[in-house]
Structure 1
């Protein structure tokens, strides 16, 4: 009997979970970050980042096929021993806890900055923590359904960006490679950060019903993220001049200020509300995967009690830690570099170790 069959997810839920984790806050700030490094050629760096993320994603799937009914921790326990698996579970729990904590605080700052400037951080965090707990306590299947629902109810948003193209200038995109290849290569760094989230496949793989489509699913998730980033980045680049776009922290929201309707005055407020729903598909799986990792160590299936403590610590922390944009920028930088190791380097090291282990084992049996 499969260990995680009681909470399995469909291929579509698998795709939208990974794509949701990847989008995060990069959806709001990535166009500015790319413009600062590569100007209007930043979209080329997105293609390079997509290729690197896809190679690492396929390596993760290839490794997990060696132990299809278990997570990363089960695989490490099998190949390197019980304590290695437990150490990996602790580090993974810390990674996803810090990841989700940073993202949800960033979301609080965005809401306060754009919509509710006088609302205390504690109140904002409580308002986000309550529905987060109600969703996360249902397990990965409920989170997968939620990610799928968010995708469908926000599917209309990209079409509104097309309205801004009436005042755009496509000549801003020309010529290609304005300053050579070096700025584009420098801009690959934020794109690598933006595609982080596929490393969740280390833990999501055993929950997937149709594991034979895991490779195709993770490619589709990366491609979906690429399309969203390309759409927003190119729209901002042709709307703003190459110098003007760097003056806005969230150009993908500021571009909506130019759109006016008779029945609504500030369209960007409506969009930001939906942006928060999209960002929630980033911190919610992070919270669950963190709690799941700790429960794996103790062999417990019920994650709700630990989840309650996690949410209480999350809310109570803002009484001692005063989050600001500069502080969360530093946290995101730390989180991203940890993610580069976990998502882009560790899969190759693990694949090499597993390959050598199996080869040596076959040689011993042959002799």
Structure 2
């Protein structure tokens, strides 16, 4: 769904918050447990390493696209590899973005059904948030980025709530650092990189950035916002729960929220989760856009609402057929974890060296 760049330009702040939004979803609920299972209480170090790797890959990605500032990824692939090979390379990209957004929507649906709409069928739950998703997606990158900016400002207070139970926290749980060496930290790095997924959308939204000279700065700020949020949540959970106990909790963050009580408010954890669903929604929307934008480039059609309605309709229909459970979602997420390493790291690095090599060949032929 190609959108006019001039009409859909996004500001630097919107660019930063859109990248940050694509990275933060439902994974933060279980991330402290996953880090504790592989790396113990040194799991927070995995976050810093993943932050550095993600920043380096994002920098290489932007360097590649600086030479073609007005081309989104589908158009760039056609330009670099030709029409037919470029379209062929789009197929796994379409599958990746469509599958990633589908998994994220499944997780959001499961949280809604488990906490709020227990008796509501899966497909009805998805239909409820498919309607606002459709209204945002049909308007392109500018509205997507504005929505990400709005939700960020409305929910930026939420991490501060985690300071309330800190009176019962123990710093001793974090010590000693690297108690079992670097191997557990390296073992936990794979799942941690998945938590930073989201920068894959950068090639689709970079052409709309109004001040492209600050693209690297914005990418680094977005990546830093994400790691600070993850570090804060992880360290708070590590300090509040005993090292052996946190591995028995499926979703430590939600368990922690249950310990937050106010005299004037009951079940604050449910209110927190209900508001956090806005954060989750801005995580799947960019991935849906990237998938449908690639589809429109593949089949050569103009932007229209039919693609958005068709995709959301297929998601609803899949919920009706599959009726997914938590175990299903966890099993279906495993392929995307492996694919994410290729899409987020291997492809940007390969594309960077291909663009550099192509430019040198052209200069050699010209000179």
TM bin (shorter chain) = over 0.9
- Which residue of structure 1 aligns with residue 99 of structure 2? 98
Q: 1:189 & 1:124 partners in 2: Cα distance?
A: 32
Q: How many Å apart are 1:345 and its aligned residue?
A: 0.7
Q: Deviations over 1:178-225 (max 9, x none)?
A: 111111111111111111111111111111111111111111111000
Could you tell me the TM-score, scaled by structure 1's length?
A: 0.96
Q: Which residues of 2 match residues 166-315 of structure 1 at below 5 A?
A: 166-315=167-316
* Matching of residue 113 in structure 1 with residue 114 in structure 2: yes
Q: Which residues of 2 match residues 43-122 of structure 1 at below 5 A?
A: 43-122=44-123
- Which residue of structure 1 aligns with residue 354 of structure 2? 353
Q: 2:89 & 2:283 partners in 1: Cα distance?
A: 21
Three-state SS of the structure 2 residue aligned to 1:258 is: coil
* Matching of residue 131 in structure 1 with residue 150 in structure 2: no
Three-state SS of the structure 2 residue aligned to 1:309 is: helix
Q: How many Å apart are 1:364 and its aligned residue?
A: 1.4
Q: Deviations over 1:138-183 (max 9, x none)?
A: 2111110110111111111111100110111111011101111111
Q: 2:85 & 2:217 partners in 1: Cα distance?
A: 30
Q: How many Å apart are 1:299 and its aligned residue?
A: 3.8
Q: 1:179 & 1:118 partners in 2: Cα distance?
A: 46
Q: How many Å apart are 1:117 and its aligned residue?
A: 2.1
* Matching of residue 38 in structure 1 with residue 30 in structure 2: no
Distance 1:133 1:3, change over 3 A: closer
Could you tell me the TM-score, scaled by structure 2's length?
A: 0.96
Three-state SS of the structure 2 residue aligned to 1:190 is: helix
Q: What count of residue pairs does the alignment treat as equivalent? A: 365
Q: 1:91 & 1:85 partners in 2: Cα distance?
A: 11
Q: Deviations over 1:8-56 (max 9, x none)?
A: 2111111111111111122111111001111111111100000011111
Q: How many Å apart are 1:4 and its aligned residue?
A: 2.2
Distance 1:25 1:309, change over 3 A: same
The answer as to whether partners of 1:291 and 1:303 remain within 8 angstroms in 2 is: no
- Which residue of structure 2 aligns with residue 22 of structure 1? 23
**5+ residue gaps in structure 2?**
none
Q: How many Å apart are 1:71 and its aligned residue?
A: 1.1
* Matching of residue 344 in structure 1 with residue 342 in structure 2: no
Q: 2:149 & 2:227 partners in 1: Cα distance?
A: 17
The answer as to whether partners of 2:80 and 2:86 remain within 8 angstroms in 1 is: no
Q: 2:303 & 2:4 partners in 1: Cα distance?
A: 14
Q: 1:25 & 1:179 partners in 2: Cα distance?
A: 29
Q: How many Å apart are 1:3 and its aligned residue?
A: 5.1
- Which residue of structure 2 aligns with residue 164 of structure 1? 165
The answer as to whether partners of 1:172 and 1:237 remain within 8 angstroms in 2 is: yes
Moved over 6 A (4+): none
Three-state SS of the structure 2 residue aligned to 1:67 is: coil
Q: 2:331 & 2:55 partners in 1: Cα distance?
A: 27
RMSD: 1.3
- Which residue of structure 2 aligns with residue 323 of structure 1? 324
The answer as to whether partners of 2:191 and 2:337 remain within 8 angstroms in 1 is: no
* Matching of residue 363 in structure 1 with residue 361 in structure 2: no
Q: How many Å apart are 1:232 and its aligned residue?
A: 0.3
Q: How many Å apart are 1:90 and its aligned residue?
A: 2.8
- Which residue of structure 1 aligns with residue 155 of structure 2? 154
Q: How many Å apart are 1:303 and its aligned residue?
A: 3.1
Three-state SS of the structure 1 residue aligned to 2:322 is: coil
Q: 1:109 & 1:303 partners in 2: Cα distance?
A: 30
Q: 1:140 & 1:345 partners in 2: Cα distance?
A: 26
Q: 2:112 & 2:250 partners in 1: Cα distance?
A: 14
